[in-house]
Structure 1
Amino acid sequence: MISTLKKLHWLGVLMLLTGMGMLWLTPLSQQLGAMVMIACLIGLGLVLMAPYPVLLLIDWAQKQDPAANAGSDKNDRP
């Protein structure tokens, strides 16, 4: 599942960069149809990029050792 989300993440980065390049480097951004296409590229790129870092954070949190923090509540009280 992580490899699929990683591929989608890079596809989103590519879509975002393509949209930003079209916005900054071409005069197409002055036409209505091109504005919609640029907005869709940027928006969908950001949506495709979002799940991968969240999954990495969840995976990292699950790998943490819960036994190391189990006794911390007992030592904090006087």
Structure 2
Amino acid sequence: MAVAGVILLGFSEFASEVQGMVITASLIGLGLLFMSPFPIALFLEWAKKQSADDKASS
């Protein structure tokens, strides 16, 4: 997503319009967010909690 946003920013006239700016910024921002390790850490924490809950209920 971040790469798609950078391509739109650099190689098209779409990013010069207001709607294009919003979409381009959203693509770049979401792409960088998805690449960050924080969502992975949240998933691992959730998975451990689910595993502990399953063992406790068994």
Larger Rg: 1
TM-score (norm 1): 0.47
TM superposition shift of 1:24: 0.3
Gaps spanning 5+ residues in structure 2: where? 42-58
- Measured in 2, the distance between the counterparts of 1:48 and 1:36 equals 18
Aligned to 2:46: none
Give, as a single letter, the amino acid of the residue that structure 1 aligns with 2:2: L
TM-score, with length taken from structure 2: 0.63
- Specify the alignment match of 2:10 in structure 1: 24
Of Structure 1 and Structure 2, which has the larger fraction of its residues in helix?
A: 2
Shift of 1:51: 1.1
- Identity of matched residues, %: 35
Q: How much has 1:49 moved relative to structure 2?
A: 0.2
Instruction: Indicate the residue corresponding to 1:48 in structure 2.
Output: 34
Question: CA RMSD for the aligned pairs?
Answer: 1.7
* Alpha-carbon distance in 2 for matches of 1:24, 1:50: 23
